[in-house]
């Protein structure tokens, strides 16, 4: 690689600050959308796809005052669903003279290049989780087949952007979104973790700027609570927890150039019935309760360091992972919110 440090001239006497002003990138909260807040390390090194077995049930019972012979009325459909995995790698090469030059600048070229490689891998993990390695195949959480994709409707005053929207009505829109998700998965009265991911400008506006407006009648949070605080307090009262996370790559990724905000319920909980349980089939084991997933073959990229020609050193990082995957599409909703 070309040298990343240069010769420099400085005035003496002088003082040089030993700490280095580093470029800061946004730490994405995409992992919070996933079950257990992490990528599932389940793949073998050469696994090209992930398969999930699925059982669907239709059943009925017939009644009469006298017993009689009936044919079987239960139908269990067994099927597979799958997603592809991809191998990602990068490499860096440096020389002894570059190590010495970086040392004069006060940092380790070896560590700097490794961190640069790892950041590339972790940003790629975020990208394929949200957008998919091949989006046209329905990969990535934003492209989940069957997931609700909802555009923010105009409020009672006709406003349809986040910064002009009635903040109380925005809170109601978010609360209704959560209720719709819980209802579609039959999770009423079961405590849930709800995760929201959106651009900083959207999330911070809802958390710190969008105070619920005062009106001619009193409403919850008016004059004191923000949109996010109103949503959070109501969800906590219902026994749920909600997390607000940020990722600026979602700017403009919604329909019509709007900002995309992703809401997930990462894990489903099997509602337990009484002795007469109309959901007893879900007690069959093993039951996959994770709803939003991403797979990899290791927790971090494998690192291989080896000598290279002409006295150089080469460092190679690689791992295999899937795109983001929601096998239960009811557990994810995409909100299209014009800023």
Mean pLDDT for back-to-back runs of 10 residues, the chain (339 residues): 72 92 94 97 95 90 69 80 97 91 90 95 98 96 96 94 93 96 92 96 93 54 75 93 97 96 94 77 89 96 92 94 97 97
Q: What does the pLDDT read at residue 213?
A: 61
Residue 20 within any structural domain of the chain: no
- Nearest-CA neighbor of 285 among 53, 127, 71? 53
Residue 17 within any structural domain of the chain: no
Q: What does the pLDDT read at residue 165?
A: 94
Distance, in Å, from the CA atom of 332 to the CA atom of 45, rounded to the nearest integer, reads 29
- Nearest-CA neighbor of 123 among 252, 28, 187, 52? 28
Q: What SS3 state is found at 187?
A: coil
Q: What does the pLDDT read at residue 248?
A: 97
Residue 303 contacts residue 87 (beta carbons within 8 Å): no
Q: What does the pLDDT read at residue 104?
A: 86
Distance, in Å, from the CA atom of 63 to the CA atom of 246, rounded to the nearest integer, reads 55
DSSP label at residue 325: B
Instruction: Write down the pTM of the prediction.
Output: 0.90
Q: What does the pLDDT read at residue 220?
A: 53
Q: What does the pLDDT read at residue 335?
A: 98
Residue 301 within any structural domain of the chain: yes
Residue 138 within any structural domain of the chain: yes
Full residue range of the structural domain in which residue 88 is found = 30-59+76-337
Residue 117 within any structural domain of the chain: yes
Residue 264 within any structural domain of the chain: yes
Q: Give the 3-state secondary structure of 111-132.
A: HHHHHHHHHHHHHHHHHHHHCC
Q: What does the pLDDT read at residue 214?
A: 46
Q: What does the pLDDT read at residue 252?
A: 97
Q: What SS3 state is found at 247?
A: coil
Radius of gyration of the chain from Cα atoms? 26
Residue 15 within any structural domain of the chain: no
Q: What does the pLDDT read at residue 224?
A: 63
Residue 11 within any structural domain of the chain: no
Distance, in Å, from the CA atom of 246 to the CA atom of 102, rounded to the nearest integer, reads 34
Q: Find the angle CA(152)-CA(156)-CA(161) to the nearest 5 degrees.
A: 35
Residue 47 contacts residue 85 (beta carbons within 8 Å): yes
Extract the tokens encoding 213.
């407006």
Distance, in Å, from the CA atom of 266 to the CA atom of 229, rounded to the nearest integer, reads 21
Q: What total number of domains does the chain contain?
A: 1
Q: Which residue matches tokens 């067994």? A: 78
């Amino acid at each position: 690689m070309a040298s990343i440090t240069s010769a420099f001239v400085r005035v003496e006497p002088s003082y040089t600050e030993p700490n280095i002003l580093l470029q800061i990138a946004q730490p994405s909260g995409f992992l919070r959308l996933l079950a257990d807040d992490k990528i599932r390390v389940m793949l073998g090194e050469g696994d090209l796809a992930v398969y999930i077995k699925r059982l669907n049930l239709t059943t009925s019972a017939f009644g009469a005052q006298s017993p009689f012979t009936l044919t079987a009325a239960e139908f269990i459909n067994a099927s597979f669903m799958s997603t592809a995995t991809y191998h990602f790698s990068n490499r860096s090469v440096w020389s002894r003279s570059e190590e010495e030059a970086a040392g004069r600048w006060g940092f380790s070229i070896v560590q700097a290049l490794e961190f640069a490689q790892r950041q590339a891998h972790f940003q790629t993990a975020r990208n394929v989780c949200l957008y998919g390695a091949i989006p046209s195949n329905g990969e990535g959480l934003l492209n989940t087949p069957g997931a609700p994709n909802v555009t923010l409707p105009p409020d009672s005053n006709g406003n349809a952007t986040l910064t002009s929207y009635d903040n109380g009505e925005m809170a109601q829109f978010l609360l209704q979104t959560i209720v719709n998700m819980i209802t579609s998965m039959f999770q009423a009265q079961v405590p849930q973790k709800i995760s929201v991911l959106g651009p900083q400008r959207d999330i911070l506006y809802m958390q710190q700027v969008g105070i619920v407006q005062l009106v001619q009648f009193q409403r919850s949070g008016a004059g004191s609570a923000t949109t996010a605080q109103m949503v959070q307090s109501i969800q906590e009262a219902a026994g749920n927890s909600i997390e607000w996370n940020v990722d600026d790559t979602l700017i403009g990724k919604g329909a019509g150039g709007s900002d995309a905000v992703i809401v997930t319920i990462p894990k489903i909980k099997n509602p337990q019935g009484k002795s007469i349980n109309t959901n007893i089939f879900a007690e069959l084991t093993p039951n996959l309760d994770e709803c939003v997933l991403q797979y990899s073959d290791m927790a971090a990229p494998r690192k291989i360091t080896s000598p290279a020609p002409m006295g150089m050193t080469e460092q190679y990082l690689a791992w295999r992972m899937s795109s983001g995957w929601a096998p239960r599409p009811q557990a994810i909703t995409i909100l299209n919110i014009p800023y």
